[in-house]
Structure 1
Amino acid sequence: MLEVKNLTRRFGEHIAVDDVSFDVADGRLTGFVGGNGAGKTTTMRMIMGVLAIHGGEVRWDGRPITTADRQSFGYMPEERGLYPKQPVLDQLVYLGRLHGQSAPAARAAATELLERFGLADRAKDKVESLSLGNQQRVQIAAAVIADPVALVLDEPFSGLDPLAVDSMADLLREYARRGVPVLFSSHQLDLVERLCDALVILSGGHVVASGTADELRRSGRVRHRLVAGDDVGWVRDVPGLTVVDVDGPTALVELHDEATGTRLLTEALRRGSVREFAEVVPTVSEIYREVTA
């Protein structure tokens, strides 16, 4: 397990990361989300030892993390670290050998990854000749080429087309099934909600929410939708609820207690037909907007 304990980082007088704590469990995909400047990249850089830690610690396998531990991680930085004038295959082999692989093993792994990402025919091309999306694919391959024991990926889906996103998601799931803890940041909340086992939401350098997608959805304000046969403006006069919106025969309300729901439904049936009365569970995107507002 990768554990982040009370991490703090300052830049001058600005506290970019303030007492941040969360775990990335073995075999779980953890999404790290937040707006620009929330502290995601700074936190990841501290995890990887790229930035000094001003407070707190990072733990791996129940003990303080070491340089040797970090060398066995797969890391994808926000600012891509590829050599633009080096051929794609040669670069991946070189990076694999830096991680301790033999030349044949690195070449075999690189070739397999390039085939997987549809880049086998570009293996001899220089990185600078590739599109930004294909450069992103190569950067992902570089992060996983040495069979890492953990993955820390900063915006790995940025710039990828839908097919590449699916391929990348499948790759991350494979690593998770092997028991590898995976932490990745993304602004694509629908993708994070679909893919991740757990989420950590950062705002202003603080963790403002964390848990599984279902836990986060259930932590928000639960609302109910009423759809009747006629106008439901009368719900505004029902005690024990907050009206969020009324639009003709449809009302969205927050119930103060369960008894109010029964009272509301009874009144709606008394007035005519009821086509729907159901709980509306918020999406992760709605929870995100709520906790970061």
Structure 2
Amino acid sequence: MFSIQNDKLKIAVQDAGAELCKIVSIKHNTNFMWDANPKIWESYAPNLFPIIGALKADTYSFEDETYKLPKHGFVRHNKDIVLHNKTENSLSFKLTSNDALLKIYPFKFEFYITYTLEDNRIAIKHTIKNCDTKTMYFSVGGHPAFKCPVFENENYEDYYLEFEHAETSKRHLINMENGLISSETKSVFDDSNILPLTHELFNEDALIFKDLKSRNVTLKSKQKGNILSVSYEDFEYLGIWAKPNGNYVCIEPWLGIADHENTDKNLKTKDGILELPKGEIFKASYTIEIAQAHLI
């Protein structure tokens, strides 16, 4: 495990998958991250690459070849990712394509995830370099899980998400049997920017949004006010998720999405897929900002 801190926050990143696992206030020792209880959900904040969500039958096709990838790709839990650079306020990790990965993902690449701590804010930057001689196709995103409730004498229902703008976006429903995006949608907002949190909210799996106007969402407590905000200007999709019995909420900025039920499984035409020409570099960042009121 690697850690950095300043006078307000300490963050820690675990070796496997370079997964952010702690955001702790220096003064009060409050941890804002989920504790990865293995009886409920044993992750903290997986890094998602080169796909997001599930593939149909866990497979995709590229250039007339069929490949198999697990849900959310191969960065999460990956023990080959290594510390690339550490400074007083940043941790950077690197995963390089290898023979084993080329058998399931036929592109030579370098994947970097960098955590930078500045005052009360953590910036999470993804950098992807195409080291191949052909165009690379990929998705990338985050999956951070935040404690909810954070403080004692609070309930899950005391919490809600406040979006930057009033929204009318509908959630895209997931087929619970195969994890794929169905053709069905469901209303969530009524020209409102408030999403109350209840455990029942996630009975139909994640809330997946493709067309939110907001690029910032704040986790708020009816008793304690603002808890933290996630800003995701570089990301087009957003997932909101928790296990129905989990005292946490995931706020997930995505560039990409799970396969649709009617997919032809062609990676080049996959919904939300990104293209990166040979030799080029792609970057995308989101931030987590802890409310100052809980740090003083």
TM bucket normalised to smaller: under 0.3
| Structure with the largest fraction of helix | 1
Q: Give the TM-score taking structure 2 as reference length.
A: 0.26
Larger-gyration structure (1/2): 1
Q: Give the TM-score taking structure 1 as reference length.
A: 0.26
